[in-house]
Structure 1
Amino acid sequence: MAKKEKIPQKESEKKKKFDFGKLFGIFGKFKFRKLNIKKFISDLKEFKQLEKKKKLMLLGMILLFVLIILLSIIFIPRFTTSKLKIENEAKSASISNLFLYIPPDAFQYKKNFTIRALKENSAVYQNLKTLGNFYGPIYEIIPDDNKEESSLKPIKIKYKIPMNLYYGDNFNNFSIVYASDDDPPIIKKLSGCEIFKDESLGTYVVQANTFHFSKFGLYVDPTPKEASFGLKTLIEKPSSLEPDLILVQGIDNNFLGFVPNTQTINNLYGENVWSLYFPNRTIWYYKYPLLETKPKSYMDAFFGYFIRTGSNSYLEFEAERFALELKTKHNKQFDIITQGIGSLIVRYALEKHPEIKNVRSISMFSPPNKGINTVNPIYYNYI
């Protein structure tokens, strides 16, 4: 029998071209219920037989595709929103740098809010940043029922502090800023903010109370200064037989009595009303954070007081600190003049510490001795 002659194959048939579509098809097969293991292994074997140059080209294409996806995730703006539903129970919500805590019965009925970050390239954001010196994202809290109303209880708002701008525990250069929906908007820093490390979040925050939702952001003081509290000398005079004077103010910063436009080179602070009335007396003032932000060092001391006594009252805390100042200067006699909530601090200190004997008299201006609710704005129309 004649031997069959082997017919030579064409060069193009010897080198079988690899179908690149097969490899990309591999990635579509990672649905475990439909994965054909034998076919998957076969495709991988074909990929191994590719020339090194083609392998590198293919892997380069895959890496480029992955890089494009990652860049789009990082740089394409994402406008996050969060939904918050409020009923007769405590609720909390967070979105990026902003955190909310709403106490039980803050509203009289079920209420839903949408929390949304303003677009940084929007006219609203740019306008607020210019007017209010906002730092970073600004968040809008919108009621789904479109009813603008105040809550019955204070709502806590926390904002993450950028640690590259945190200068230390004695600095209070952060506060939360509120912007209304008016045109032009009313912009104000929320009073009495607190700086502390939130262990649940693992970061430093600035916290404030509010009764109304609108737009909120972070304010950073461009010229930070170290905060200092306690008994300070306002005007020093030579010793006399008359007692020194202590001023303890409330929310009225003018209570310290400096007369505007009277500053000179020799008198940097200007004339003082109290010095005109009491020209021979050394005048002190007691400084405490009522409207300004409370730095972390202050909050640490307050938390320590709360742990020791169980009291979470800033008024009682300040009364104890004021009493300690009077005891430290037991060799001096004082007359005290107070205003507003400063009256309650002094009164509480002296009533709780009858051992203090170096206070001769107290004069009070507009003291809320019987209590008054001027914190919640829904009560303003009753005053």
Structure 2
Amino acid sequence: MSLLKKILEILLRRKIVLISFLVVLGAVLILFFLFQKEASLRVGKEGAESGFINLKVEVPSGAFGKQKVLKITRISGDERRKYSDAFIGDLYRVEFADGVNEFALKPIHLKYYFDSQYFRGENYNNLALAYATDDGGYRVIPGSMIGKDERGYFVEAFTYHLSVFGLVMKTAGFQKHGVTLLREMVTSPAPAVLIVPGEDPTFKGSVGDGNIWEAVFPDRTLMIYEYALYDSRSLSYSEAYREFVRKEGRRSFIDFEADFLSKELLELSRYDFDILAHGTGGLIVLRMLQRHPEVGNVRRVVLFSTPVRGTNVVNPLYFSSMFFEKDPEVLSGIFGVEWTKLKMMTLHIRNLIDTLGEVALEILPDSSLIRQLENFNGKDVEIFSICGDTPPYGVDVSGTELEKFYPEFVKENGDGFVSIQSCRIGKTLQLKGSFYDLYSQRENLSRVEELLGYETPVFSGFKDDSYREYLPVQNPEISSESLSPQEEKVEVEKKVFPQKFLSKNFLRRVRSLTLSSYTAGSTLGKDVYVATGSGVLMWDREMFKGSVKFFKKVNDYISFLSKGDIYLIDRVGISRYAPFPVNVDVEDALITKDAILYAQMVPGGVRYYLFEDGKEKLLATSPGIGVSIKEENGRYLLLSSKEIIVLDEDFAEKERVLSSLFGDGADIVDGTFVDDALYILLSDGSVAYVSGEKLEMGHLALSVPVKILRFQEKIFAIGENEVIDVTEGVRQSFTRKIVDAFAGEEGIFIVFEEKVGVSLEEWRVEG
């Protein structure tokens, strides 16, 4: 008995030890998951899933062509403070262990669990996954979806590239989903017009409290279909999509929205509809008609840039192989496309892939959805498909190797999103314009009115002196969407621009200088200074040897940057002034003796900063590209393609002028000040005059606008092959290509492109 008792006592002691060991092991494992710093997963062609307790990373099969190891690091401590305060919770760096970055061929699935205190309600889309940008900011991953499972609340999203990922909280917004009434016209017998947007949010037509489509269709009932293609998605919205995926056994956001749209139109059976759809929005409409023939209240459909047969533009394989992490200047020599245009093409493609996320795979030419559309038979609905003929940003890959991969970027064949072959359905038309402005061209809108078969006044864009945007902005982070243009009718007593512009040789050449290269030029008194690729000349005499950046005239001196140092040119000569204190990538800068204005490109636009008294200050955030900063008549102009911001001499913001003031198709090229009036050169070859309550447009028909400058009391608009005296109403043509121009005391200096190098010539006004 005593032996048995001893054995039982030993077993009991060992059991206690075993239990204690298991408890300690469990605690260690919990602490490991809570406080681990790094994790890794090996990714082969078959894919993988791993991550931290709060971040799960799922790489699908076929995302990468070879085995890769992903390294995941939780960022904390001092490094965490380097990133934006907009992030809540932990940040995670996901990178390749070998340091070689790659663009995934299929979207990587991210799933981030968050504390329930941040959840505002099942219909609010206030949370999104985001990745950190190089400038210390962040960009929201489009299509972020809120969810909940046994572990808790999470946000999931899809991305094609690795970065530092985290969660951001947006302003708590109530999710919009479905058909919304914009304006009811009870007395109109015509079908209601339903707007279905796609990738481009401006297709919605929102301007302040109004809508541009109200001007296009002044006597029609207007509605818009709102859905979250690129916006964040609430819990209820996301769960509805997940339920669709469970029932269908496949992921198709386009078909999910097609089904939802059909329910909306059936509930609105008292209306007949004419539908205007753009891009992927057009695919939603077509799939709605194909999947739901019971919808019988659609009369006609007009599609803009809809990839009925798919598009190569969002093909991750093409982008990964040809563009990702590659120098546009090197690619320019390979493909034979100007590197600046190649860079814009790359940004355009990257933005579309990022915007669409997993939806990008649905609109590839060989996708199952596109193959199903080959059998489309909408006999009861008239369909008109409109494709543009001009790729955006001046890109044209015709005659190059890229033409085989991207027919959408061949001029006269595509508009930067679809080609004429890929948009064919119903009655197909090719009209002038790109993916971004095809639907806003006045002549195209007139054609749409004809197609809808109901006579309405032709929308001719924004009328002269009808709209203005004079926007003193207190918050430099204000977005372009929140700027509300004011609409006022102004009586014009006197026209600024002449009614006609006569062809006349009003300039005569007085001297010329041949240069091997040219960067910028300016004058101080009668002295002419020119920055070249190798230094600075005072006309033909070398004054400085070395690299030159940001060569600008400011007040009575010229400043520039060379090898990290600031140099000033005044009447005495050139002197080294101070080290350049800004240690980031700068798109453009204007250097004064006391401060530096500089711009950084960020996803979706540009940020302008002021460096003064040893401190950096964010001045403004603006949409657009093509950034430049200049000093004009005691003011500072911050220019992008979408907006001009005016600062006073103390760098305080005085006003903003958005390009939407002049119509959706117009981009800003350049601007100059005369007294309190802005003269703005636009990409469509016209010049706008903006002063207080007054707006007037001068349609100069410049084929390729280059610059606008003030010379004495005159305004000159410079095109690629002509100079227009806007004040006098005369124009002079040139056979050579104009690269740049700047004003002097007695004449203007024009830079012409020559067979070898350039020529700098002074021209003076006759008489």
Q: Which has the larger radius of gyration?
A: 1
Q: Distance in 2 between matches of 1:337 and 1:177?
A: 32
- For 1:174, which of 99, 116, 127 is the aligned residue? 127
* 8 Å Cα contact 2:82-2:136 kept in structure 1: no
Aligned to 2:177: 229
Deviation of 1:298 after TM superposition, in Å, equals: 1.5
Maintained 8 Å contact 1:79/1:118? no
CA distance in 1: counterparts of 2:105 and 2:316, whole angstroms: 10
Q: Does residue 252 of structure 1 match 2:189? A: no
Question: What amino acid sits opposite 2:89 in the alignment?
Answer: G
Alignment of 1:148-187 (within 5 A): 148-180=101-133, 182=134, 184=135, 187=138
Q: Return the offset for 1:120.
A: 2.8
Distance 2:93 2:60 in 1: 20
Alignment partner of 1:129 is 2:77: no
Once residues 307 and 136 of structure 2 are traced to their aligned partners in structure 1, the CA distance between those partners, rounded to angstroms, is: 32
- Residue 129 of structure 1 contacts residue 135 of structure 1 at CA under 8 Å; is this kept in 2? no
Asked whether the equivalents of residues 80 and 95 of structure 1 are also in contact (C-alpha less than 8 Å), the reply is no
Kindly indicate whether residue 89 of structure 2 is the aligned counterpart of residue 141 of structure 1.
no
Q: Per the alignment, in what secondary structure is the counterpart of residue 62 of structure 2?
A: coil
Cα distance in 1, alignment partners of residues 250 and 62 from structure 2: 23
Cα distance change on mapping 1:375 and 1:350 into 2, 3 Å: same
1:113 has 2:70 as partner? yes
Give the unaligned 5+ runs of structure 2.
1-9, 14-26, 324-404, 407-767
Greater strand percent: which structure?
A: 2
Q: Which amino acid aligns with 1:306?
A: V
Matched, 1:238 2:186: yes
* TM alignment of 1:153-302, pairs within 5 A: 153-180=106-133, 182=134, 184=135, 187-199=138-150, 202-221=151-170, 223-259=171-207, 263=208, 269-270=209-210, 272-302=211-241
The 3-state SS of whatever aligns with 2:78 is: coil
Report how far residue 337 of structure 1 moved. Answer: 0.4
* Contact 2:40–2:51, Cα closer than 8 Å, also in 1: no
TM-score by length of 1: 0.71
Contact conserved, 2:57 with 2:111, CA < 8 A, in 1?
yes
- What secondary structure, in the 3-state scheme, does the structure 1 residue paired with 2:213 have? helix
Question: How far apart are 1:78 and its partner, in Å?
Answer: 5.1
Shift of the alpha carbon at 1:304? 2.7
Q: Report the counterpart of residue 334 of structure 1 in structure 2.
A: 273
**What is the CA distance between 1:209 and its match in structure 2?**
0.8
Give SS of 2:289's match.
helix
- Larger displacement relative to structure 2 (302-311 or 289-298): 302-311
CA distance in 2 between partners of 1:365 and 1:185 (Å): 37
Q: Cα deviations across residues 23-49 of structure 1 (Å, max 9, x unaligned)?
A: xxxxxxxxx9xx9xxxxxxxxxxxxxx
Q: Distance in 1 between matches of 2:197 and 2:293?
A: 22
Q: Give the whole-Å Cα distance in 2 for the aligned partners of 1:251 and 1:101.
A: 26
Distance in 1 separating the partners of 2:53 and 2:78? 18
Change (3 A) 1:328 1:373: same
Does the aligned pair in 2 maintain the 1:238–1:280 contact within 8 Å?
no
Structure with bigger helix share is: 1
Structure 1 position 163, deviation (Å): 0.3
Give the 3-state SS of the residue equivalent to 1:127 in structure 2.
coil
Change (3 A) 1:358 1:230: same
CA contact (8 A) 2:143 2:232 kept: yes
1:376 positional shift: 5.3
**Structure 1 residue 292: Cα displacement:** 1.1
* Aligned-pair CA distance for 1:299: 2.2
Q: Secondary structure at the match of 1:323?
A: helix
Matches within 5 A, 1:82-121: 82-121=39-78
Q: Percent identity?
A: 33
Between the aligned partners of 2:305 and 2:253, the Cα distance in structure 1 is 20
List per-residue Cα deviations over 1:266-321 (Å, max 9, x = no partner). Answer: xxx03x32111211111000011100122221122223333433343111111111
Change (3 A) 1:351 1:154: same
SS in structure 1 at match of 2:281: helix
Instruction: Check if 1:344 corresponds to 2:283.
Output: yes
Residue aligned with 1:355, SS:
coil
Q: CA RMSD in A?
A: 2.4
Q: CA deviation at 1:185?
A: 5.0
Question: Unpaired segments of 5 or more residues in structure 1?
Answer: 1-31, 36-69, 264-268
1:186-215 deviation digits (Å, cap 9, x = unpaired): 63111111111234xx21211111111121
